Structure 1
């Protein structure tokens, strides 16, 4: 059989989550990329076995207690060689309040975490608002938030995830993952 072999753009969306909020965002990113015609798989970062066959990767995880989720950092370390050969987009969940200082603090923390991977040059980095619900917390978080002095002590449930901004960011990734579509 002759002819041109066209490489299908196949994206992996890998995520780390503590209470499911990051997974919900990852699912919206997947749906948006699929609507644009890309082939997309979604998997928890810790369960990814290989990156062969993927032409691009999206990695998302929360900033929690001023640290990026350890499974995201482990994923970057484990797949360093493969990630250096593919476009990678990174997102993090962070602020619970829509206040400029909190957004800056979370972005600075993510930048600090990404500095530990100087070989990584993401095509896109984004921070999305987070979700907090004390009722869903498990040990030891449910104990820590009850301590006087905890910044989350007596905090009401909150969700500042901006679904339109998430879909918009994901749709912009299409051109970065499949440059032929940009023309």
Structure 2
């Protein structure tokens, strides 16, 4: 039986999907058979030997589709090696990274059974021109944390590639 890895992602504006696509490609380059799927569309984990879950930290919380994925598949995920990556900070300020870690830890704490083999936070991407309602409305409110926020993209593609390569090595023993 062929062993397969699932890269499941949640994404509101496409940035996390782009990272998931990159991670999928790197895992494949490292010899893994990998499927890429939106977390909400995954119905079963029966055919998988490992899972990588990606999501943004959005308004201080893990994207709802990623949380839903963890809830829906909790029995299967308890038996599989699972790695999780999130996109969060929109600047390189240390405090923002600490806050992203704290928010992620708090949200993952709601799933006490979840023991990922690795958890990684990457910088995120923000483009106010792409905002849809209600986010576009929120961006116009002076009290909003995204009011007048400039576009940014601090995703570190070298770091993403390195992490995925290391992850492939970590998942290989679990897949044989």
> 1:56-75 CA deviation, whole Å, 9 max, x = no partner?
00001101111110110110
> 1:118-139 CA deviation, whole Å, 9 max, x = no partner?
1110000000000000110000
Deviation of 1:176 after TM superposition, in Å, equals 1.9
How far apart, in 2, do the equivalents of 1:8 and 1:121 lie?
25
Q: Show structure 1 runs of 5+ residues with no match.
A: 1-6
CA contact (8 A) 2:49 2:174 kept: no
Aligned partner of 1:3 in structure 2 is none
Task: Map 1:34-45 to 2 at 5 A.
Answer: 34-45=28-39
With the length of structure 2 as denominator, give the TM-score of the two structures: 0.96
Query: 2:114 aligned to 108, 117, 120, which one?
Result: 120
Task: Please say if 1:21 is aligned against 2:15.
Answer: yes
CA contact (8 A) 2:81 2:174 kept: no
How far apart, in 2, do the equivalents of 1:60 and 1:41 lie?
13
> 1:90-109 CA deviation, whole Å, 9 max, x = no partner?
01110000111100100110
Deviation of 1:145 after TM superposition, in Å, equals 0.9
Aligned partner of 1:156 in structure 2 is 150
With the length of structure 1 as denominator, give the TM-score of the two structures: 0.93
Task: Map 1:1-183 to 2 at 5 A.
Answer: 7-179=1-173
**Which structure's CA Rg is the greater one?**
1
Runs of 4+ displaced beyond 2 Å: none
How far apart, in 1, do the equivalents of 2:168 and 2:23 lie?
11
Aligned residues: 175
CA contact (8 A) 1:9 1:178 kept: no
> 1:134-180 CA deviation, whole Å, 9 max, x = no partner?
11000000000110021211111100000010011111111221128
